[in-house]
Copies of this chain bind each other. A is one copy, B any other.
Amino acid sequence: MKIVLASNSPRRRELLSGLGLDFEVRTLQGLDESYPDGLQMEEIPQYISRKKAAAYTLEPDELLITADTIVWLDGEVLGKPADEAEAKEMLRKLSGKTHQVVTGVTLSYIGQLDNLTIGQFNCEIVKSSNCQIKHHSFSSVSQVTFAQLSEAEIDHYVTHYRPFDKAGSYGIQEWIGYIGVTSIEGSYFNVMGLPVQRLYSEMKKLNII
């Protein structure tokens, strides 16, 4: 099958490349990333990854990968910061605490994989107008613990790295991750934006690779 990564994120492209698979990138602009109230932590990015998938048209030999990552702190989603002040405020909130980074992933394909056992996963069959599209979704959660960050460290990071495209206002692979993250529990690559080992394992279960 032809693997199609539906993501504008250069980090996700890099992470998927790390699996050694060939793939093509296909993106749409202006996708609606809203979600209903009342969703639990893991359900939010999974829901958004499903919604992103629904915006794409698929060919019979294609596997579409859509994903969304959120930062979750004390029951609240930290999104992408609008400006410097908001970025600094988020980093002050994350300082000295453990938060969750959750990536939801949806694998979508047209029905020729019908006879596979998808088994115990969060799977569902959706009838579209002209064909049967299957969506296979999962979420991966990583715990990330930050040391106490000083105002000087927060200022330095926001000024030099401008993390406005990053949920929670930080990239773990950037300077702030080196000086500030004391430990993680779960997948490091998931914190970067794609739980590649889980993705590889789910694709193996679906006999895609």
A-B contact pairs, 16 of them (CB 8 A): A19-B175, A20-B175, A142-B183, A178-B196, A178-B200, A179-B200, A180-B197, A181-B197, A182-B187, A182-B198, A183-B185, A184-B184, A184-B185, A184-B186, A184-B187, A185-B185
The answer, among B18, B147, B184, B201, for a CB contact under 8 Å with A188, is B184
> With an 8 A cutoff between CB atoms, is A23 at the interface?
no
Q: A185-209: contact bitstring with B at CB < 8 Å (1 yes, 0 no)?
A: 1111100000011101100000000
Also in contact, A183 and B186, with CB within 8 A (given A20-B175, A201-B147): yes
Interface size on A (CB < 8 Å)? 25
Residues of A that sit less than 8 Å from B by CB: 15, 18-20, 142, 147, 172, 175, 178-189, 196-198, 200-201
The answer, among B142, B183, B197, for a CB contact under 8 Å with A179, is B197
List B contacts of A200 (CB < 8 A).
178-179
A197 near B19: Cβ-Cβ < 8 Å: no
Residue among A175, A186, A188 facing the most chain B CB atoms (10 A cut-off): A188
* Minimum distance in angstroms from A13 CB to a CB of chain B: 13
